[in-house]
Amino acid sequence: MAKKRKKLKPAEKRVIVEEAGNKCANPGCSNWRVHIHHIKHWAVYESNDPSILIAVCPSCHDAIHHGQLKITDETLYAWKGIERPSRPETTHIFVEASEDIKLLTGTIALSTSNERATVFKLSENCELSFRILDNDINLLNISISSLDGNIVLSVIDNYVKVRDSRLVTFEQVPGHVSIKARSVTHFLPERFLKMMQQEQPSYAKDGSIILLDLEVLKPGLVRVKGCWADEDVAAIITNESLSFLHDGLKKPLSLIGHGEKSVLRFTGSVTGEMFGLKPNESNK
């Protein structure tokens, strides 16, 4: 008679998960929710020796047992042997391909007839842009810095990297990542905060702000929210609007539409003056 499987203690499971980098051990998978898989099957070896345990996500776990493309024990041991040094929190946002590519920013959708569109660029370390690959692949490129000019997070072709986790919280599920600032003062001048709250009273009322939120809604369509700012200018995207702020304005310059069907299409060169930003700034 086979023995009843002994459950792993939380501390034992944590060691296996940390060994995998707190994600699926598959280096080709970005899922963070994991199962503990016995490389040497419990039914045969009846062992919870850590050397034969590996953390894999439910999808990879199913593929190990039932996948048409076999994942061998040798592959699993190779994954287990990967050295994963401490590094910033990272994930990848997969956007299903579509010829209808748009960013939903508040209640305005942005599209382009070009291969690339820069929505805005406040500084070298503070911008929002996207590009279209092979007519149907949506790739976002984003950088957000603190007010001292240091990059806190970046998105490079949908690959999200938090560079300073001391200043933010990081949450994710497949297709949705949310990064919040622990303190508003590191990312948004107080006068701009007050300006936003005049128009949207609930903005940052709990003392934190959404620094970046990316959510895939449909093939090709990503909803973007966030806060980009330096001492002179800011761009803030909430559920309600895409807003630009600078000292020459008494209130935010906000673009408001009716959702996905309200489309602002980039057909050529766009300058920052269009949004009341720095006169010499150019977006394409």
Using the predicted structure, report yes or no on whether residue 252 has a pLDDT greater than 90: yes
Using the predicted structure, report yes or no on whether residue 284 has a pLDDT greater than 50: no
pLDDT above 90 coverage of the chain, percent? 73
pLDDT band for 4, please (50, 70, 90 cuts).
Answer: low
Using the predicted structure, report yes or no on whether residue 275 has a pLDDT greater than 80: no
Say if residues 236 and 254 touch (Cβ distance below 8 Å): no
Average pLDDT over residues 204-226: 96
Query: What gap in Å lies between CA 224 and CA 253, rounded to an integer?
Result: 18
Using the predicted structure, report yes or no on whether residue 277 has a pLDDT greater than 80: no
Quote the pLDDT of residue 9: 87
Q: What is the mean pLDDT of the chain?
A: 89
Quote the pLDDT of residue 233: 94
| Prediction pTM value | 0.86
Quote the pLDDT of residue 281: 45
* Range from 47-56, 83-92, 165-174, 217-226 that averages highest in pLDDT: 217-226
Nearest partner of 272 among 250, 257, 258, 253, judged by Cα: 253
Quote the pLDDT of residue 282: 39
pLDDT digit string, tens, across residues 108-156: 999 998 899 999 999 889 999 999 999 999 999 999 999 999 999 999 9
Say if residues 279 and 132 touch (Cβ distance below 8 Å): no
Say if residues 122 and 277 touch (Cβ distance below 8 Å): yes
Quote the pLDDT of residue 26: 96
Quote the pLDDT of residue 8: 83
